[in-house]
Structure 1
Amino acid sequence: MRGTIESIVSALARDGLILRGGFIFADGEEAAFGPTGLPAKSVLLVGQAGAAPWPHFLRWREKQPLALTNLLDTWSRQVIGAVAETVDARAVSPSDRPYLPFQQWAMRAEALKPSPLGILMHLRYGLWHAYRGALLFEDEIALPEAHEAIHLCDACVEKPCLKSCPVEGYSLDGFAHQACLAHVRGANGEPCRSGGCLDRNACPYGTAYRYPAEVQAFHMASFAGL
């Protein structure tokens, strides 16, 4: 590895991104390959807290062709890929095919658990965070071990995240994808289209990091293909 953890943190911060923990793969564990094609020994997760990357993304988007699709994925790949080149790492994305186990990596890196909405619940950020990519290394990167945090969902009795959607998109049985999609695309879907998921917004945790309506509308449009 060239550089240091501090240099990676500094490079990511220029675009509003942060390190989201990491770990060393266990001996004998099947791992994705690193920059030279050998199995990776370490992974560092890259992501965001709140909407910090948004202004950086907007400045980048202004310079892109109108026909460009998957804008946020493309931006994330470019930013994280540029950092990877400076530290002898391979940059990977949650949307890469075949899919890599980002959810499992994230839970392992930060000792988080899923909320009823499937989004990992963070003790500080609540539901207002995301993982944009990861850096895979072919050497071992020493990191502090993640200690299991209080799972805020266990302490939440009212569960407003399961009561705010008009079509009961989320329940203890899982996500009603088609019902949600039809609602967002339909005549009564405007509150969700312009302001984001009502269930997610109902969560009382991490509200200081809640995405602005503009950001939530962008993600909702991507989800609904609008």
Structure 2
Amino acid sequence: MTDCASVARLFAPHGLILRGGFNFGASEDAPPGPSGEPAKAVLLVGQAGAAPWPHFQRWLADQPENIENPLDTWSNLVIGEVAAQVGARAISPSERPFMPFQQWAMRAEGLRSSPLGILMHPEYGLWHAYRGALLFDREIVVTALEKPIHLCDACVGKPCLKACPARAYSSSGFAYQDCLTHVRGQNGEPCRTTGCLDRNACPYGVAHRYPLEVQVFHMAAFAGLPMRD
């Protein structure tokens, strides 16, 4: 059995945390583990707030200026190194074929989606992320979690659906192209310099809200714009 506490300690120096996990059922179509046979278990790896940012920035300072997808690259390196130490296979949300990370996260942590599509965490609100996962050929010991409160159920005004100038989010879903066109356009400066207005309008998890420089970084990556110094 895998000791989750010892795995978590390997990620702590990088600002990353374990985000739950589970054992695959015998009849499930599990992805390959490190042996190439269907994995027996998965542990999700991610962040709460912007804890990994200073660690990522120190690494980035030593990289070429034109490195592509730097945050994914850093995450993959860190998670890959830990995977090698614990005998697991590391996978990334951006890796093809895409793995059902959101479904795994809902199963592992009991979270539900917010109106923005981001899973709502009872402590972190919308300010958290999943950076990768570890697949094992052996089962893991998982502590049973109580079903968390879904904060969106208690939010009457839904300010997250009212702040976006492009009205990119609605009950119909996310209008990706409308959002992208707005952010890249002449009226998209607030989004480019302060982050997603709808996400920032959410009243939950504000203590974990990403700092301005982190939000600007993510918005530039989303829109394919030059990163700000």
Q: Aligned equivalents of 2:82 and 2:146: distance in 1?
A: 27
Which residue identity is paired with 1:18?
I
SS of residue in 2 equivalent to 1:154: helix
Q: Tell me the SS of whatever aligns to 2:20.
A: strand
**1:117-172, Cα deviation, whole Å (9 max, x unpaired):** 00000000000000000000010001112332111111100000000001101000
Residue 215 (structure 1) aligns with = 214
Work out the CA distance in 2 between the residues paired with 1:209 and 1:97.
30
Q: Distance in 2 between matches of 1:155 and 1:221?
A: 32
Structure 1 segments unaligned to the other structure (5+ residues)? none
Is it true that 1:168 corresponds to 2:167 in the alignment? yes
Matched, 1:77 2:76: yes
Aligned twin of 1:107: 106
In the alignment, is the contact (CA less than 8 A) between 2:168 and 2:178 conserved in 1?
yes
Helix, strand or coil: the match of 1:44? strand
Spell out, residue by residue over 1:53-98, the C-alpha distance to the aligned partner (whole angstroms, 9 max, x if none).
0000000001111221010000000000000000000000000101
Match of 2:79, as an amino acid?
Answer: I
Match of 1:124 in 2: 123
- 1:148-159 to 2 correspondences below 5 Å: 148-159=147-158
Trace 1:20-31 onto structure 2 (pairs within 5 A): 20-31=19-30
CA RMSD after TM alignment: 0.9
The residue aligned with 1:184 is: 183
Q: What is the deviation of 1:113?
A: 0.3
Q: Is the counterpart of residue 16 in structure 1 residue 15 in structure 2?
A: yes
CA distance in 2, matches of 1:69, 1:165: 29
* Paired-residue identity, %: 68
The AA in structure 1 aligned to 2:64 is P
Query: Counterparts of 1:35 and 1:171 in 2: how far apart (Å)?
Result: 41
Distance (Å, rounded) in 2 between the aligned partners of 1:155 and 1:6: 33
1:14 is paired with a residue whose SS is helix
Q: Is the contact between residue 4 and residue 141 of structure 2 (CA under 8 Å) also seen in structure 1? A: no
* Structure-2 separation of matches of 1:167 and 1:4: 47
SS in 1 for 2:44: strand
CA separation in 2, counterparts of 1:140 and 1:59?
Answer: 35
Runs of at least 4 residues off by over 6 Å: none
The count of corresponding residues between Structure 1 and Structure 2 is 225
* 2:20–2:109 contact (8 Å) kept in structure 1: yes
Determine the C-alpha separation between the residues in 2 that align with 1:67 and 1:126. 33
Runs of 5+ consecutive residues of structure 2 not aligned to the other structure? none
Alignment deviations for residues 168-189 of structure 1 (CA, whole Å, 9 cap, x no partner): 0100001111111111111111
Instruction: Give the TM-score of the pair, scaled to structure 1.
Output: 0.98
- 1:6-61 CA-to-partner distances (Å, cap 9, x unmatched) read 22111101000000000000111000111110110000000000000000000000
CA-to-partner distance for each residue in 1:197-222, whole Å, 9 max, x for gaps? Answer: 00000000000000001000000000
